[in-house]
Structure 1
Amino acid sequence: MSRIEVIAPNLKKRLSGVTSTIVQLVPVQARTLGIATIGPGLPDSLPKIGPAQFFGLWRRPASGRKRIWHARRNTEMVAGLVLRALGAPLHLVFTSAAQRHHRPFTRWLIRRMDAVIATSRRSGSFLEVPHDVVMHGVDVADFHPASGPEDKFAASGLGGTWAVGCFGRIRHQKGTDLFVDAMIALLPAHPGWTAVISGRVTPEHAAFADELKSRIADAGLRDRIVFLGEVPDIKLWYRRISLYVAPSRNEGFGLTPLEAMASGVPVVASDAGAYAEMIVDGETGSVVPAGDGPALVRAIEPFLADPAYTAACGRKALADVAARFPLEGEAAGIRAVYEKVWARG
């Protein structure tokens, strides 16, 4: 505990985008910073503090500085405030990805933080306190373009020459229905393409998923619009597709376009979340209004019509992500916020 200067709590057992951020980011931060996680649902590979170390929070680390408690959820802000009220010497930092006005209680919590980070300019526009914008990054070593035979779409055993993908939880919010409708409209005119959908279907969204499968069957496209379910390694499927579609109606930040572009794949996305700030429209992909099905069809069609153009946009996407969104850049941006907090005492 004497070396730990930052605590990254994860007070939610179910996997979420926040959990994914912690899992990817903490190992990079740990290269130059004493940081540990606390909470359930995290892999054993991450540095953690357990029950035996918990009361060490009431002692400052060897540096003499207060530890930083970096919250990303309301529950974690509350926990930090309680710990500080009980005498733990903590600075409180909060990261907000919300694309909406916060509720009164959340605003009350945010006002009590020592520093606030927004994950995009858009999320920052909903904050009523001073903040720094630090956009999420992606591990460009972990997500990378196809390099071997297994990475090729042909290795999937599915039909077609090229694939267009839509990954994430299957639900209305994520716009899975918009993607399915776009594929039903476009695939008959583009016989070389197959659509693949991957993601979890929770019980409350099972009827939604079943209705989509009925639409696909009615269109006679069951062999060309394929539900993969949850796959063991989604990184492989990013390498196998040639185009990625992110049609969310609303989103917090949304990492999947960065993961696709780091894999050398261009992206057609809605303007939900931070998507519009990730994509260079007309170069690394296209951006359409959230919830606009006809606009989504129009944006996807040029990529299906010209695979060479699609591949060229994928190369630009890879270069752009490597330059603007490496995970190390996110870690450096957050570290700069920490240093400002520490400088204030």
Structure 2
Amino acid sequence: MAADCLRILAVSHSCVVGLNQQRYEALARFSDLDLTLMFPTHYVSDFDGRRLDPDKTTAERYRIVSGPPVLAGNGSLYFYRRGLREAFDRSQPQVVFVDEEPWSLSAAQMVWGARRRGARTVFFTNQNLRKALPPPFCWIQRLVFRAAGWAFTAGEEAAEVLRWKGYTGPVSLLPFGVDPTLFRPQDATTLRRELGLRGTVFGYFGRLVPEKGVAIFARAALGLCDRFPEAVSFLLAGSGPEGDRLRQMIGATPHAPRFVFVDRTLREEAPRYLCAADVVVVPSLRTRRWKEQFGRILVEALACGVPVIGSDSGETPFLIRRLEGGVVVPEGNVEALADAMAAMTREPARRQALAETGRARVLAGYTHEAVAATMRDVFLKVARADRR
């Protein structure tokens, strides 16, 4: 442990999945930081209830500490049975980064630990809905707000919600990053031919669930088929409860041959399938309990040089406007989405311009390295403030 390095302890249950450690891998490359990362010995998927065991438990440039969780997979209710003392002893942190919602039990554990060790706290939140919390969660949130020297949010709406909740400290946007060596433009001619895709290809990538708006996409796509005979086709990559219903709805029309369903793609295959599309559509719908918190697929598509169309749900419109790589349509509006898709079909030069601008923006500010640089700058500011 280098004496002149800023010592950081980060906790994040999402890092059970090795791919989610990429921002920390990039952070650990800074020579003036000493990083320890903690996550549970296992977790349970929020989406399908599968047990997730860590697929990366050692690292070259940073320490990894894991501890057995209680109530794994229960969001804000999970906490650590053991392991915190080891994490604090091994890291001797000056800054503790809580990559958990600020009302969670694990956040409370980390803040109490940081206070005992005299460390400063930084936290991250995705929450972009105005929700009043019952005790004890509102008490935990106040504790975290008082202790925090800085906050990160996934998007602009989350920052607004944070202010509404009463947080008065500094806030910075911290997007989810992308690996530009994996998500990059590539020739997908062979894959398109294998899948039977032709003309302008519109892609949907994600869970086949109502709130993701996949039925809106399908209805807009069917309408587009009437406008452009033989000139468009559609790729739907994902799985979920809406899958069978969509297949039945599309199969009952004469346009079914233009639709290709891919149940699931491996992470390393995702860029190839993204590049098989000419436009990626993200038609999310808000619900009473959820709206789009970031939209990682938007960044990944643009990194691959594919422009996007997104609904004005949650963070999606803010992200598209910052990246300048696509167009925004009203959520749930089939006709508006079909019109936007038609415009993209007619204007390949516009598609190309949007793709080039969006990819440049992603490479400038949305790689794991760029995200890690933002984290480092904040951690250094918080540590310096403590010395004044």
Letter in 1 for 2:127: A
Letter in 1 for 2:201: A
What pairs with 1:232-271 in structure 2 (closer than 5 Å)?
Answer: 232=266, 233-249=269-285, 250-271=291-312
Question: SS of the residue aligned with 2:383?
Answer: helix
Question: SS of the residue aligned with 2:55?
Answer: coil
1:38 aligns with 2:39: yes
Please, what TM-score do these two structures have when normalized by structure 1?
0.84
For the structure 1 residues 153 and 294, does the alpha-carbon distance in structure 2 shift closer, same or farther, using more than 3 Å as the test? same
Contact in 1 for aligned 2:23/2:372 (Cα 8 Å): yes
User: How many residue pairs were aligned?
Assistant: 331
Unaligned runs of 5+ in 1: none
Aligned-partner Cα distance in 2 for 1:211–1:166: 16
Q: % of aligned pairs identical?
A: 22
Which residue of structure 1 aligns with residue 158 of structure 2? 123
Which residue of structure 2 aligns with residue 162 of structure 1? 200
Which residue of structure 2 aligns with residue 344 of structure 1? 385
Contact in 1 for aligned 2:305/2:356 (Cα 8 Å): yes
- For residues 110-169 of structure 1, give each alpha carbon's deviation from its aligned partner in whole angstroms, at most 9, with x where no partner exists: 4244121122222211112123222413222221111x4x56543443231332111111
Aligned-partner Cα distance in 2 for 1:112–1:50: 27
What pairs with 1:1-345 in structure 2 (closer than 5 Å)?
Answer: 5-11=7-13, 22-32=20-30, 33-35=33-35, 36-39=37-40, 40=42, 41=52, 42-44=54-56, 47=59, 48-50=64-66, 55-59=85-89, 61=91, 65-73=93-101, 74-84=104-114, 87-104=116-133, 105=137, 107-108=141-142, 110-114=144-148, 115-128=150-163, 129=167, 130-136=169-175, 137-146=177-186, 148=187, 150=188, 153-190=191-228, 191-201=230-240, 206=241, 208-232=242-266, 233-249=269-285, 250-280=291-321, 284-345=325-386
Aligned-partner Cα distance in 1 for 2:299–2:197: 27
Deviation at 1:96, TM superposition (A): 1.5
Deviation at 1:53, TM superposition (A): 7.3
For the structure 1 residues 259 and 45, does the alpha-carbon distance in structure 2 shift closer, same or farther, using more than 3 Å as the test? farther
Deviation at 1:328, TM superposition (A): 2.1
Contact in 1 for aligned 2:274/2:306 (Cα 8 Å): yes
Aligned-partner Cα distance in 2 for 1:71–1:251: 19
Unaligned runs of 5+ in 2: 43-51, 68-81, 286-290
Deviation at 1:283, TM superposition (A): 5.7
Deviation at 1:93, TM superposition (A): 2.0
More divergent stretch after superposition (308-317 vs 254-263): 308-317
Deviation at 1:267, TM superposition (A): 0.5
Aligned-partner Cα distance in 2 for 1:23–1:235: 19
Aligned-partner Cα distance in 2 for 1:173–1:13: 25
Question: SS of the residue aligned with 2:65?
Answer: coil
Please, what TM-score do these two structures have when normalized by structure 2?
0.75
What RMSD, in angstroms, separates the aligned Cα atoms of the two structures?
A: 3.0
Letter in 1 for 2:181: A
Aligned-partner Cα distance in 2 for 1:335–1:109: 24
Deviation at 1:81, TM superposition (A): 3.3
For the structure 1 residues 240 and 117, does the alpha-carbon distance in structure 2 shift closer, same or farther, using more than 3 Å as the test? same
